[in-house]
Amino acid sequence: MTDKVAIVTGASSGIGEATARQLHGAGYIVYAAARRTERMAGLAGAGIRTLAMDLTVEEQMTSGIERALAEAGRVDILVNSAGYGSFGSLEEVPLSEARHQFEVNVFAPARLVQLVLPAMRAQRSGRIINISSIGGKIYEPLGDWYHATKFALEGLSDSLRAELRPFGIDVVVIEPGAIRSEWGGIAAANLAERSAAGPYAPQAAAMAKVLGVYERRPGLLSGPEAVARVIVAAAGARRPKTRYVVGRGARATLFGRWALSDRGFDRALEVFYRLPR
């Protein structure tokens, strides 16, 4: 058991929900944050404290962190799990959507880090766990903005890790592969909305077909609980790794990216997605 305090964003479903449950089971005082509070009734029933937090609303982020500090007196773990995938061609995705993607996937995690750092520095300890993706190391056509946010989160995390080391604060990056969650459905819907009928329609159709296979055969995906187990291990490790890769096919994909040239990986994507040339 532990009296440490953890805040988990994106806790209404998927990786965030599984992480909140497993941290609670490991004895942490857990604050589960999400925009859709009605979907966290089960977490509240299990004894997990819930926060209404829309990551595009400054007042909700600020008040959520302030409440946790006022009630618990400290924050030991921040898990930035919230995020989504916006797919579609660069030409067709409005910049307003691109900005929103960065707001949720990059700027909101950075703001939450800003809000917890004074307490972590004062206690000379803390751990920030940013949920990135293997999408922060690889790329896909029609995924321009999503991959840009994950590449950005990786770079931000690396710089932050070096920056916070003198204060006893660790920064950990989790890189999931294909995980069973709402992410795929949201990405597919965005893809259809932006690029299913325009000049990029053949690419969109090819990629939607692959996403459809995953939807129809969820056994091809790892469950969010697998990622949550890694997050809990990283939260409790005396000296955590800087990165954890988790999920079916994740390591093989990253090895392929490392082993292949850029043109070689381009070709691998064409074969995997059966993209038109």
Residues with a catalytic annotation lie at 146
Sign of CA dihedral 179, 181, 186, 189: positive
Contact partners, residue 61, CB within 8 Å, separation at least 6: 53, 55, 108, 111, 112, 115
Strand partners, 175: 245
Q: How far is CA 70 from the centre of its chain?
A: 27
CA atoms within 13 A on the CB side of 210: 16
Strand partners, 7: 31, 78
For residue 74, which of 171, 5, 129 has the smallest C-alpha distance?
5
Q: Is 26 helix (H, G, I), strand (E, B) or coil?
A: coil
Contact partners, residue 108, CB within 8 Å, separation at least 6: 9, 55, 56, 61, 80, 82
